[in-house]
Amino acid sequence: MEFFKEIEASDLDTIKFKNLLSIKNLPVLCQSIYSVILDEQTNGIIYCLWGEFEVNREELKYGIRFSLPNCPNSLAWSITNDNECDKIIIHCTINKQIHDKDFTESIEEFMGDWQNGITSGI
């Protein structure tokens, strides 16, 4: 399944944007991520609405991708700056085409928390 959110953002500095998207800032940027247990900059451990997970942080050309490598649903999300249309795109995926309603709703909550956090942080 895929989930998307967009945020209007003009004149966004990509370097500052990427720096904002650090593992240590995850709880500040997303209320669904409650705490960072370990931060080694490209990987760490977080506690979120689904429990405790290892997290990886990967730099992309226009943003950052986070993934939970031990998540049974292979949850991953990216936050990228689309300079051509002045938008920030939040994109989340899991490894199933259909999932139960509660889990799908929790991902929608997660995405909304990211949208709110990024809007407040930029």
Q: What CATH number is given to the structural domain containing 26?
A: 3.30.530.20
In the DSSP assignment, the letter for residue 25 is: T
Calculate ∠ Cα 79-117-21, nearest 5°. Answer: 45
- Number of domains within the chain: 1
Average pLDDT estimate for 53-74: 96
Which residues are within 8 A (CB) of 104 and not within 5 positions of it... i.e. 6 or more apart? 1
Query: What local confidence, expressed as pLDDT, does residue 99 receive?
Result: 73
Top-confidence residue, 109 or 14: 109
Q: From CA 31, how far away is CA 25, in angstroms rounded?
A: 11
List, in sequence order, every residue forming a beta bridge with 93; answer none if it has no partner: 2, 76
Calculate ∠ Cα 93-79-99, nearest 5°. Answer: 15
Q: How confident is the model at residue 5 (pLDDT cuts 50, 70, 90)?
A: very high
Average pLDDT estimate for 66-85: 91
- Confidence check: pLDDT of 85 > 90: no
User: Domain of 78?
Assistant: 2-121
Tell me the pLDDT tens digit for each residue of 10-19: 778 888 889 9
Query: What local confidence, expressed as pLDDT, does residue 13 receive?
Result: 83
Task: For residue 88, give the nearest of 13, 23, 2, 1 by alpha carbon.
Answer: 13
Q: From CA 95, how far away is CA 106, in angstroms rounded?
A: 15
CA 4 remoteness from chain centre = 11
